[in-house]
A and B are shown apart, each in its own frame.
Chain A
């Protein structure tokens, strides 16, 4: 074990952190918006909307993310002429655009299942109460269903955040130099895989821990009203993230 190399590789590897975070943040943000739309589509009751949504979710969750990235980045080359005609080619030629597109779509598929679960958990009585107050469907969703569903879905979405931080490593296969990309380059320069792995892996663990902490804080904030009642507060104590991973599928 070369401690000097460990110390000297921290700087270069840490320089990949902003790239990793930027990819994860963009994919999670866009993915979340799409996830809500897909979840609504799957609950719309219109078969022509439901069926494509169901197929999309199933396909994205059952095929490797790496294949999805390759379809977007390399596959788009097959339609270069058409894309050029529509003025889209500069986007599809850009690895950043392709990585974020593929990661967002992937995150949307996983996220929509979590949000769907949250929406399903909203008490019928609350919706009926809203309707009896004369709220429009839109207001009912924005003011009642959505906030309650999000609170319920938050622990699951926490796992999605961590899973997406890990998933950004695949962007290194299409020339984006984030943490894993730097690690690969350093390993082939130094021929010391273990030392580099320890530092790079450590960085990912720190990012995951920070994300888990942020989600747990958010969860506590959203459950503030429950802590007024000590008995209920105990019952809704933040669920550990690890327990939820048992049921949540991973990429």
Chain B
């Protein structure tokens, strides 16, 4: 193993790998935010009183927790291009193939899948809030929105925190899949370096340790926030 390949500057690939790490962090961060949004919508519909909404929420969480993320990525990747081209053709009358940016494709695909897990975590947390607390809120005359914002959400958030931290780690690991459609994130950069130096093991193991560092950071961060919240 030639470790000089992992140094900075024109001789080494450290700059490229760290740039890839930054793209990985940005992608998984954006996907996580999207997952929180989808998760909140999914949890709300699974807990709602109307059965079509409940069925929709149930369908969302069942399908996207049961289907491989790679398959979802292909759907968004190929489907996005076609949708974009069709819209361009019919609305603007512009022909030709349009390319959806791979960053958007990746964030959407990972966000949808992680959102399904998020919905389950949030639903579980909302159900774990003691009934008495909600009844107390009602008896104080809080409106439904006030009850949600001031009572349910803060308590449920604390319960959901370990689960949500887990999902953030999942989005980081799953963001590696986006390299398959060509986003220049960490794994992709490692593949490029591996190809041009013919040292695949060196670069893939380096990428693995950078992923490891990122997820360990999230684990430590989540534990910190948890401890802080428990103090309250």
Contact = CB atoms under 8 A, between A and B. Distances in A.
Contact of B71 (A71, A188, A197): A197
B78 interface: yes
Contacts of A66: 176-177, 179-180, 187
Interface residues of A, number: 47
Nearest to A67: B208
Interface of A: 59, 62-68, 70-71, 74-79, 162, 166-170, 172-173, 179-180, 183-184, 187-188, 191, 193-194, 197, 200-201, 204-205, 208, 242-243, 245-247, 249-251
B51 interface: no
Nearest to B191: A70
B35 to A, nearest CB: 12
B60 to A, nearest CB: 12
Nearest to A206: B66
13 contacts: A63-B208, A63-B211, A74-B194, A74-B200, A79-B201, A166-B69, A191-B78, A197-B79, A201-B67, A205-B62, A208-B66, A245-B120, A250-B170
B82 A191 contact: yes
**Residue among A162, A166, A193 with max Cβ neighbours from chain B (10 Å):** A193
Given A205-B63, A245-B117, A71 B205 contact: yes
Contact of A75 (B187, B201, B212): B201
A29 to B, nearest CB: 20
A197 B179 contact: no
Contact of A197 (B75, B82, B166, B219): B75
A79 B199 CA distance: 9
Contacts of A200: 67, 71
Given A166-B67, A173-B180, A188-B78, A62 B216 contact: yes
B16 interface: no
Given A71-B208, A204-B68, A249 B199 contact: no
B43 interface: no
A201 B71 contact: yes
A204 B71 contact: yes
A187 B74 contact: yes
B65 A245 contact: yes
A191 B81 CA distance: 10
Contact of A201 (B63, B169, B212): B63
Interface in B181-229: 187, 190-191, 194, 198-202, 204-205, 207-208, 211-212, 215-216, 219
B89 to A, nearest CB: 14
B29 interface: no
Nearest to B219: A62
Given A201-B71, A204-B68, A245-B117, A194 B205 contact: no
Contacts of A183: 71, 74
Contacts of A193: 74-75, 77-79, 82
B173 interface: yes
Contacts of A64: 172-177, 187, 208, 211
Interface string B79-91: 1001000000000
Closest 6 CB pairs of A and B: A169-B68, A64-B176, A75-B201, A78-B201, A193-B78, A62-B215
